[in-house]
Amino acid sequence: MFAALLTALALAVPSVDGVTDHSARLTWTTASAQPTAVEYGTSTGYGLYRTGAGGGTSHVLTLDGLAPGTTYHVRPVGGDDVQVTTAQPAAAPHALAIGPRRSLLLDGRPFVPVMQWLQCPSLFDRERALGIDVFMGRGCGNTDADEVAQTFARGASSILPFDAAVANAPGLLAWRFDDEPDMNHVPVAALARATARGHAAKPRRLTFVTITSGFFGPTKSKARSAAYARAADVVGFDIYPVYGYCRPDLIAWEADATRALVRIARPGEPVYSWIEAASTSSKWCHGRGVEPEELRAEAWMALVNGATAIGWFTHSWTPDYSQFRVAPGVQAEMARTGRQVTTFAPALDAASVHVGVQTGEGRVDAIARSYGGALYVFAVNVSRTPVTATFTVRDGTWQVYEEGRTVTASSGAFTDTFPSLGVHVYVLPPAPFR
């Protein structure tokens, strides 16, 4: 019997072919009839699911919507893990478009960019290893042509000011406008003209603009900020409670400001947030740098409250200027959070489902999604005190992603605890994996 079991498991290891920069074809055989279904992800925590028609003993399934140049772990029902590494992006122009629910689509597939601002090519290898896949701006004196060549060579993309000479480069993702035009009194009409130029050029490209957080807080100017936001295709902001204000107690601003930006943006307009990552305070206050759990919490505060992209701000002027002054622990968290965001991009961009959240004290923000037959709840404690939260969801045993535990929902709810600034991702797998 033991030998038969070993044979059955060995048969259920997929062989892989047809690998592209976004897909892979799997074939496998099982000793007994099984559903055609696999779980997959960027770790053995998996987290994503794909099912095919029917079942039996011979199975063929194509995974699509994968990230380029990324290693995935794949396991069929009752089988063993196999690793699949996608190809680097194709050497051709790639199209970024706006999909439903303010999502971004790269060549028609869900994409949640993990960005970085104004970096020199000498830093690209380190930063690419941390999961950054989009570099906005150009941080050194190299040319735009060199910039897009450098990012493409590493499987990443660039967002640059308009330059017709690189419009067709495979490393170009979109155009950007000058930073914080609202603070620098640049006319809204100038931004609108830049967006029109980006649309008219071939191929058509989206435009990104980063505005200040002037739409948020006691001196907010919603109408003015909204005019800048709506003149571009994609709008982002920065607020930096720890780095910029030296007020770690105000970290929930990240969640509230993201939600406020969604309200003033054009209907359907994608929103992004720059997340503070530097290990010093800014030029405007004197305090400590960002800690790993703060970076992680702020990233998920943004995503749970409406952002469809995030970026890391790593610049420091203390004790001298550096484009990347980030403590090792924060770098490790950048890598983990970036990998998880890339893993869950298809789920984050998928259809919303209802989730209710109740807390006795404190506050937990959450969203729920349905993708690949699974249900997902992404939740973050926005406060600095532990919180117990009850979620109204579908009954079943929910996996807590990469935590090695489960929670059970009965009578339509489960309860879980969150440490200060804690983040949990809950997954209810489709039937073959329950």
Q: Residue 54: left if φ>0, alpha if ψ -120 to 50, beta else—which one?
A: left
Give whole-number Cα distances, 51 to 125, 288, 374, in Å: 36, 48, 11
Say which DSSP state 316 is in: B
Residue 284 contacts by C-beta under 8 Å, 6 or more apart in sequence? Answer: 244, 245
- The answer on 64 and 162 residing in a single domain is no
**Residues 116 and 259 grouped into a single domain:** yes
Q: How many domains does the chain have?
A: 3
CATH number of 21's domain: 2.60.40.10
316 and 218 in a common domain: yes
Cα gap 158→135, rounded to integer Å: 5
In one-letter notation, the amino acid at residue 256 is D
Q: Is the same domain home to 309 and 166?
A: yes
Regarding whether 219 and 182 lie in a shared domain, the answer is yes
Domain boundary among 302, 320, 348: 348
> Phi and psi for 433 in degrees, rounded to 5?
-110, 5
* Whether residue 203 has a cis bond before it, omega within 30° of 0: yes
This prediction has a pTM of: 0.95
**Which of 85, 104, 125 delimits the end of a domain?**
85
Show pLDDT as tens, one digit a residue, over the chain (434 residues): 334 434 444 468 899 999 999 999 999 999 999 999 999 999 999 999 999 987 899 999 999 999 999 999 999 998 899 999 999 999 999 999 999 999 999 999 999 999 999 999 999 999 999 999 999 999 999 999 999 999 999 999 999 999 999 999 999 999 999 999 999 999 999 999 999 999 999 999 999 999 999 999 766 688 999 999 999 999 999 999 999 999 999 999 999 999 999 999 999 999 999 999 999 999 999 999 999 999 999 999 999 999 999 999 999 999 999 999 999 999 999 999 999 999 999 999 999 999 999 998 999 999 999 999 999 999 999 999 999 999 999 999 999 999 999 999 999 999 999 999 999 999 999 999 98
Q: Please check whether residues 298 and 408 belong to one and the same domain.
A: no
275 and 318 together in one domain: yes
Letter string b/e over residues 376-403, b meaning 16 or more CB atoms within 10 A of that residue's CB: bbbbbbbbbeebebbbebeebebbbbbe
- Pair of tokens at residue 161: 């000011």
- Residue 265 resides in a domain: yes
Domain that holds residue 157: 96-348
